[in-house]
Amino acid sequence: MRATLIQSIFLAGSLAGCANQSDVKPVETLDERTGMTVGMLKDPIELLPSATNSVHVLRKRTTFAYLGPVEWNRSGVYSYGLWVHLATGNDRQFGDIHAPGALSLQLDDGPLALTPIEPPALDHEPYREVIPWGQTAYFALSGGAIIRMAASHKLELDIRAADGTAFGFSPTVDSSAVLGDYVKSRGITAD
C-alpha cells in the first residue's frame, strides 16, 4: 500500500513537470507533399503596442502583432525565417509590411535587419493568421540571428505606419525564455 502511494505521488509529480514544459515547447510537422520538416513554436509570440504608443487602447480596437521563428528542413538542409502577422485594429493605418524597411526588430545589442522572403510553398502555414484582414509576411533569419534574439532581454518590433511614423510592439511573455527553449530544442547553432 505504501509503495503504491509513493509511486502515485512520483507519477503525479512527473506528469506535473511535463505539463509545465509543454506550454512553450516547439512543434515539428512534416509537410507530406514536399517532404519538408517544419519546426515552429506551439503558438506565436503575441506583441502589444508599447507603452508610449498605447494612448488609444481604451478607446479603439488596438492593433496587435505576432511573430514566430520557423525552421525549414529539407533532407538536412536547414533554413530559417521569422513569421510576422499584423492584426490591424482601427487605431492606426499601416503600410505594406512586405516593403523593405517597413519592419525592424530592436534587441539589446541594436537593431536586427529584416529582409522579406518568399517562404517555401507548403500545404499548411506554420502559424495561423489571427485575423483574415491582417497582414502576414516572412523574413530571412540565420541561426545566429535566432540565437541573438533568444539572448536579448529586449525584443521590440517596430512597424512603419502609412504616414511613415514607427510604432513599437513588445511581447506579452518572456520572449528570451521562449526563444531560448526553441533554440535548444531545435539544436540551432550560429552560422
Per residue in 128-187, pLDDT (tens digit) is 988 888 999 999 999 999 999 999 999 999 998 878 888 899 999 999 999 999 999 999
CB 117 within 8 A of CB 49: no
What percentage of the chain has pLDDT greater than the value 70?
A: 80
Give per-residue pLDDT as tens, 17-41: 444 443 555 689 999 999 999 999 9
pLDDT band at 51 (very low <50, low <70, confident <90, very high): low
User: Strands 45-49 and 135-141, how do they pair?
Assistant: unpaired
Position 26 scores a pLDDT of 66
All domains of the chain in start order, with CATH:
25-186 (2.60.40)
* Mean pLDDT of all residues in 114-140: 92
The phi, psi pair for 163, rounded to 5°, reads -85, 5
